[in-house]
Chains A and B, each alone.
Chain A
């Protein structure tokens, strides 16, 4: 099994197109919100090979993509944590969100960057997002178990929760492999 860092250039060059139905913040602002002490964010995209994907699958996590745009929150020569921005489909449309993870592998914060559905914008409310704080790769992370649903936005809740579970598992696996050292 191999989980490796991919070349950083391509991902670092990607910039959100912005200006969707409702943009709440961009990925930069989210990262700074999650790690206000960071003086920079280093691009450390992770590429999973077939074995790594199988390992995640065995944990009940469908990695969906082999490439993950992980950013290291850095202050001086210290790493403070990890930020991953991602998108999932709600009911009809893409939901953009970012997940901040501490060095202990626990979710520090999630932020909804853009929400485009007609219903269910409440997933961006702090009370709903706070449910993810402290969750790790060992957590259930499932709507109707340790994450409460929002009535009328079941698909948005379910898919964001699955997305967070994926990201937490990918970062944990990459960390275990020593990639971020």
Chain B
């Protein structure tokens, strides 16, 4: 339309010029024949402009017919499937969408039902997690990723729920292979911690090794660099906040359930004089295979105790997904140094600080049935874990015995609806504590 307007304007100018020319001619008393000749010339030029205008309008109509709605295009192309112009190799081929939205809302949730088979009075149904998050891209290289979580549905002074910021980090791609991430982020430990949505793991509850030993959902505040290499290796390394041993509560059993879960800080007014370092390597060079490991270590007393202590946690993990099979295994081990200095005043209390704790599991799942909408994957998992594998020597009669290793067998199935909804069911048998045997049902989603 722009060129049409230009032509129309040009015509107006020509017409105006003709009148101006006529005035001038009269003023100069030009002969009538000269005047008539000039008028003919102008009329001829006007006709020429009109023809050009019509031609341009026709071209525009043709272009419009070639491009828009499928229906129109179908008709036009069917009537005259004119050979497409060759596109030189140097011209971009192009693609439809260019940027995508800058801000994306995400969510996941889990509603679980746990029925102890030998102790049904303790059956519980729980909105385990409800998470809302967003990712916002500031520019093509910088984004912020957040997750806000409510556990157990209601959070107030008289309820047991919690509201937590689970992730809130900024990430900037600084080079083709390197990104820098800073803020509150998930630690790259084990298989589950960074991929903890209910659609990403088998079984209603997260496995014990990656809750009791690796305290998922484990996050720290800090900065890390992420390198992704062409050989399939992803390397992560960073400096973060760490655990706070001053929080150890010897009168509670929480430390026996998850030693690090009881002293994690989650960037909640975290004591941060002592920082920790971590590194993780993961290799995905063969389709379906992941081999990896991680290590984290750092001070945990922050100058608030007469003695200092370090917490170290490391793991190795593997996942192999050939065809319909999905095998995985994790071994994780943690240690806390210089525990006698902290345990000596606590002797006789319920839970002393362990020197070491560890666990492993192996799991096999098989996609038994699937169609475009649904898939059913039964699985079995065997795990052994010990949250107090050893205690440092406190002297004869004072040193607690190591805890007994719990062994848990889980059998169940995930039923996936589309790619974002999962219904789960499983049975869990505990060798050490049969009272904990249970039947679980779960509903989860993630997008």
Contact = CB atoms under 8 A, between A and B. Distances in A.
Interface of A: 2, 4-17, 19-22, 26-28, 30-32, 38-44, 47-49, 60, 65-67, 69, 71, 74, 83, 85-87, 89, 92-94, 96, 98, 113, 116, 118-119, 121-122, 125, 127-128, 131, 142, 144-152, 154-155, 158
B88 A14 contact: no
Q: What class of interface size applies to chain B in its complex with A?
A: 35 or more
Contacts of A42: 84-87
B94 A27 contact: yes
A125 B285 CA distance: 7
A47 B77 contact: yes
19 contacts: A4-B73, A4-B77, A4-B81, A5-B84, A7-B67, A12-B85, A40-B86, A40-B89, A41-B89, A42-B84, A65-B96, A69-B93, A122-B232, A125-B230, A127-B287, A144-B370, A145-B367, A151-B191, A151-B321
Contacts of B98: 16-17
Contacts of B84: 5, 8, 12, 42-44
Given A4-B81, A44-B84, A10 B324 contact: no
Interface string B223-240: 000101010101000000
B141 interface: yes
B150 to A, nearest CB: 21
A26 B419 contact: no
B99 interface: yes
Interface string B83-115: 011111111111111111000101000000000
Given A131-B287, A148-B321, A151-B319, A7 B93 contact: no
Contacts of A92: 104, 106, 135
Interface of B: 63, 65-67, 70-71, 73-74, 76-78, 81, 84-100, 104, 106, 135, 137, 140-141, 143, 145, 171, 173, 176, 179, 181, 191, 194-195, 200, 226, 228, 230, 232, 234, 282, 284-288, 290, 319, 321-324, 326, 367, 370, 372, 375, 419
Contact of A16 (B88, B95, B137, B322): B95
A20 to B, nearest CB: 5
Contact of A15 (B94, B141, B322, B370): B94
A96 B87 contact: no
B94 A8 contact: no
- Most B-side CB within 10 Å, residue of A9, A19, A131: A9
A152 B76 CA distance: 46
A27 B92 contact: yes
A77 B331 CA distance: 61
Contacts of A65: 96
B167 to A, nearest CB: 10
A7 B76 contact: yes
Contact of B323 (A39, A48, A144, A150): A144
A86 B226 CA distance: 27
A6 B73 contact: yes
A32 B93 CA distance: 11
Given A125-B230, A131-B287, A9 B94 contact: no
A109 to B, nearest CB: 14
B100 A118 contact: no
Contacts of A127: 232, 285-287
A93 B290 contact: no
Nearest to B419: A158
Contacts of A41: 86-87, 89, 93
B232 A125 contact: yes
A11 to B, nearest CB: 6
A4 B78 contact: yes
B93 A155 contact: no
B232 A7 contact: no
Nearest to A8: B84
B284 A145 contact: no
